[in-house]
A and B are shown apart, each in its own frame.
Chain A
C-alpha cells in the first residue's frame, strides 16, 4: 500500500518534509516511526488523515500520516 508521511519541526532534520512510502498492508503508525528512527519518547501528536491517532493504529492504502515531536519548554 502507498501512504504519505508528513514530518513536522525537527523531525524534518536529516529526513524529509513529505514523502511517499510503499509499505506492507496493515503497517502501524508506530512501525513507520520506528523505520524513521523516531522513538516513542520523542513523539508528540500523531495524526492519520488529519485526525488524532494512536501508535498502534494500522494504516490503509492512501493514508496520510503526520508525526509531530513532543514540545514541552516554557
Chain B
C-alpha cells in the first residue's frame, strides 16, 4: 500500500489527483478504483473531479461522503436526478431501487430515460449512468418494489434514505420502515408546477402530517402530470438535504416542509 500511496502523491499537483492517475494506479497496483479513491482521500489527496467542491466541502467532508451509503427509492423523475447528484457529489455507495422499466412517457422528464433505455430496467440504467460519470461509486441496483416486508433488507446499511417514489401508500411504508430502522428519510414529491421537500428524522411525526392515513394513491399529479423542470428542482433540494445530513452541516427540513410553487414562483416553509 506504501508504494501505491507514494505513486498517488507523486501523481498529484497541489493536492489534486487527476483521474488518469487514479486509473493508472488501479491498474499498476491491481487495486480497485474505489480503494484508490479511499486511500487518496484518507491521505490528504483530493481527486481532481471534486476541485470545484473544495471551497464549500473540506477534504474530510469529501472523505465522509465517499464513506457514506445512500439508498434512493424510485429511479424515475426525482430518483434519476437524485442519483446523478449523489454520484457527482462523491457519495461512495448508492442503492438504487425501482421495479419498473423505462417507457416512452418517461422521456419528458426522467434524466435516465433515453431512447436506448426504453424497455430496460430503471435501476440498471442508474448503475450504468453512474459508471459513466464516477466509476468509484458503488451502485447496488435493485429491480424490486419496496414494501413493508422487504424494506428493512433492501435499505440495510444506508446512512440516509431518499424518497423518490410516486405512490402514497408505498411512501407510507417506506417512512415506517425508515422510522423502524432509525434512518433519516429525505422526502420529495411533485405534481405539475408544484412539489415539496421534507426531512423526516426517526421518531418525527412530520410524515404523518404530510400524508396522514391518506387512502389516496395519487395527489395533484394525477390530473396535472409532471413536466421536465419540477423533478429537477425538487430532486436537487433533496440532494442538498442528504449532503447536510451526511456531513452534519447547516439546517435541514426536519419537522417542516418546503412547499414549492413554480407557477407563482413561491417557496413556503410549512411547519409540520
Contacts and interface: CB of A to CB of B under 8 A. Distances in A.
A9 B191 CA distance: 10
Interface stretch (B41-49, B62-70, B132-140, B166-174): B166-174
A70 B190 contact: no
How many of chain B's residues touch chain A, expressed as a range? 35 or more
A72 B167 contact: yes
Interface in A38-63: 41-42, 44-45, 47, 50-52
Contact of B189 (A10, A52, A74): A74
A65 to B, nearest CB: 14
Given A45-B257, A50-B271, A52-B272, A72 B209 contact: no
A51 to B, nearest CB: 6
A73 B193 contact: no
Most buried by B among A9, A12, A17, A41: A9
B77 interface: yes
A72 B219 contact: yes
A64 to B, nearest CB: 13
B221 interface: yes
B209 A45 contact: yes
A73 B221 contact: yes
Given A9-B261, A50-B271, A74 B220 contact: no
Nearest to A12: B264
Contacts of B215: 41
Contacts of B193: 9-10
Nearest to A51: B271
B254 to A, nearest CB: 14
A41 B211 CA distance: 11
A71 B191 contact: yes
A68 interface: yes
Contact of A70 (B163, B209, B214): B214
Contacts of B220: 9-10, 42, 69-71, 73
Given A9-B261, A52-B209, A72 B196 contact: no
Nearest to B196: A71
B271 A70 contact: no
How many of chain A's residues touch chain B, expressed as a range? 20 to 34
B270 A45 contact: yes
A74 B24 CA distance: 40
Nearest to A13: B263
A19 B220 CA distance: 22
Given A45-B209, A45-B257, A72 B272 contact: no
Interface of A: 8-10, 12, 17, 41-42, 44-45, 47, 50-52, 68-74
Given A73-B77, A73-B218, 11 more contacts: A9-B191, A9-B259, A10-B194, A45-B257, A47-B271, A51-B271, A69-B194, A71-B220, A72-B218, A73-B166, A74-B164
24 contacts: A12-B264, A17-B264, A41-B215, A42-B219, A44-B210, A45-B259, A50-B271, A52-B209, A69-B194, A69-B219, A70-B216, A70-B220, A71-B190, A71-B191, A71-B196, A72-B219, A73-B166, A73-B191, A73-B220, A73-B221, A74-B76, A74-B163, A74-B165, A74-B166
